[in-house]
Amino acid sequence: MLIEIPNIENVFHIPEPWYIDRCQFDEKMERMDVYLKFRKEALFACSGCGREAQPVQDIADYDQAWRHLNFAEYPIYFHAEHPRTRCGGCGRILRVNVPWAIKPRAGFTVPQSCTYWRENSIYCTILLL
Ligand SMILES: [Zn+2]
């Protein structure tokens, strides 16, 4: 059984132009999946040279997953389309750095983003009950 978890934005603090599209707890698979999207017309910094406000060229991966900390004993996975930019500065086409990854191209999320998660775990537990 899939359980939709509403209003989870304040738990994960995903910065613009990213947002949480939906969050599900899969009772059978015993895992939580958080699906993220970026706003249309979003601009990103080039992950090569850092030049700001580069438009999206294409999508490199339509369902990239990042492993997040557990919720109780259940693993959490972030999912998102991973866009690439064509940089007007260095000319390279590169995947953008997503704010939740521990480092570029890592499959894990940022530990610091979990501080709020741990402090508010009671709130999250209530949502699931
Ligand atoms: Zn660049």
E strand segments, the chain: 2-4, 18-26, 31-38, 43-44, 54-71, 74-86, 93-95
User: How long a stretch of residues is the chain?
Assistant: 129
Distance 45 CA to ligand 1 centre (A): 8
Mean model confidence pLDDT for the chain: 85
pLDDT at 81 (0 to 100)? 97
β-bridge mates for residue 22, sequence order: 35
Amino acid making up residue 128: L
pLDDT digits (tens, 9 = 90+) for 94-106: 999 999 988 787 7
Distance 14 CA to ligand 1 centre (A): 24
pTM: 0.81
pLDDT at 129 (0 to 100)? 36
Locus of tokens 């390279």: 92
Distance 16 CA to ligand 1 centre (A): 20
- Does the structure show a pLDDT above 60 at 54? yes
Distance 88 CA to ligand 1 centre (A): 7
Tokens of 13: 């603090």
Tokens of 59: 């999508």
Range list of H helices, 63-106: none
Amino acid making up residue 106: A
pLDDT digits (tens, 9 = 90+) for 17-28: 999 999 999 999
pLDDT at 110 (0 to 100)? 63
